[in-house]
Amino acid sequence: MSVAERIADELDDLHADETSPGMAAVARSLAKAIDDSDAPTAKAVVADKLRSIMADLRKLAPVGEKGDAVDDIAEQREKRREEARKRAASG
User: How many degrees, rounded to 5, is the angle at CA 4 between CA 56 and CA 50?
Assistant: 30
Domain boundaries, the chain: 3-64
Segment 31-75, tens digit of pLDDT: 999 999 999 999 999 999 999 999 999 998 887 655 566 677 878
Residue 5 makes CB contacts below 8 A (sequence gap 6+) with none
**Residue type at 35?**
D
Residue 27 in contact with residue 7, Cβ under 8 Å?
Answer: yes
Task: Provide the whole-model pTM.
Answer: 0.67
